Amino acid sequence: MQVKELERVARQIRLRDLQAVYDAGAGHIGGEMSAIDILTALYFRVLKIYPSEPRRPDRDRFILSKGHTACALYVTLAKRGFIAEEEISTFLQPHSRLNGHPNCNKVPGVETNTGPLGHGLPVAVGVAKAGKLTGAGYHTYVMTGDGEMQEGSNWEAIMAASQFNLDNLTLIVDHNRFQQGAALADTNNVAPLRPKLEAFGWEVSEINGNEMAQIVPALEHRSTRPHCIVAHTNKGHGISFMQDRVDWHHKVPNKEQYEQAVAELSEAL
């Protein structure tokens, strides 16, 4: 897909994600909205994937380390053909396989279980290292939150990726500046991220992570080193009253807010 079409698909995914969270009465909508443009670019442009063969050995790998934003991943997987779009209506319902955090044993297209923060990047380093050891041609992508980068396990993984020269690994940091309960700056401010990653031997790109024309070339870039994309995004992007509001990390809109958000996202379509 080209940029304009990707933008249109991202707006559709935002709208369906909003509806799913509202119907379920739970979710992490703020961080989902910040990440959806990147997810769209990955699944509809960048990743070499096969919805009818989700475990095909030569597929590219994507790990959503910020697993609490699972609903956005489910909607993206459904739109890409991994699961039926009708199944999104079961999100968080009893016996549904669409849990609050992604489960690779239940949902096609999910590479590994995530939820406890600080685990996805270490797993991705192992996946990328395995690719190197076996001579496989796949590329591994992983998305973390910026608050998640406070976890020490991530920095151990960053050091290992550099040591092993994992040029088949791309880390995307969803840098929306807010985490649960507070702004990143008021918690344990790991920003600026670029000089820290560069000090560990990584190549680093900084982009507007809600601007598709910047996202696509950054994701398609290939380096001779591990590559980190610091994606500057907006929490709650696309919905005026949610944007850059910490309380929308884990909150569900009421009826009036839902109708306003639907109107705003539908207008953009």
Tell me which residue range forms the domain holding 147: 3-268
Domain count of the fold of the chain: 1
pLDDT in tens, 27-42: 999 999 999 999 999 9
How far apart CA 111 and CA 123 sit, in angstroms, is: 10
The tokens describing 250, both together, are 């884990």
Q: Once rounded to an integer, what is the mean pLDDT over residues 187-211?
A: 98
- pTM exceeding the 0.95 threshold for the entire prediction: yes
What is the mean pLDDT of the segment spanning 113-134? Answer: 97
Alpha-carbon distance of 53 to 20, in angstroms, equals 26
pLDDT reading at 268 higher than 80: no
What pLDDT, on the 0 to 100 scale, is given for residue 244? Answer: 95
Q: Does the pLDDT of residue 131 top 80, yes or no?
A: yes
pLDDT of residue 226: 98
Kindly report the average pLDDT of the chain as a whole number.
97
At 269 the pLDDT is 76
CATH of the domain at 242: 3.40.50.970
CB distance 108 to 82 below 8 Å: yes
Integer angstrom CA distances of residue 189 from 10, 11, 118, 150, 204: 29, 31, 16, 8, 19
Mean pLDDT of 211-234: 98
Q: How many CB atoms lie within 10 A of CB 96?
A: 15
Quick: pLDDT tens for 44-102. Answer: 999 999 999 999 999 999 999 999 999 999 999 999 999 999 999 999 999 999 999 99
pLDDT digits (tens, 9 = 90+) for 234-262: 999 999 999 999 999 999 999 999 999 99
State which amino acid sits at residue 102.
Answer: P
With 0-12 / 13-18 / 19 or more C-beta atoms within 10 angstroms meaning exposed / middle / buried, residue 155 is middle
Q: Is the model's pLDDT at 135 over the cut of 80?
A: yes
**Sign of the C-alpha dihedral computed for residues 118, 71, 73 and 244 taken in this order:** negative
The size of the chain, in residues, is 269
The answer to whether the peptide bond before residue 192 is cis (omega within 30 degrees of 0) is: yes
- Record the tokens describing residue 249, joined without a space: 């990390």
Supply the pLDDT for residue 96.
98
Whole-number pLDDT of residue 150: 98
- Picking from 80, 108, 64, 59, the residue whose alpha carbon sits closest to that of residue 13 is 80
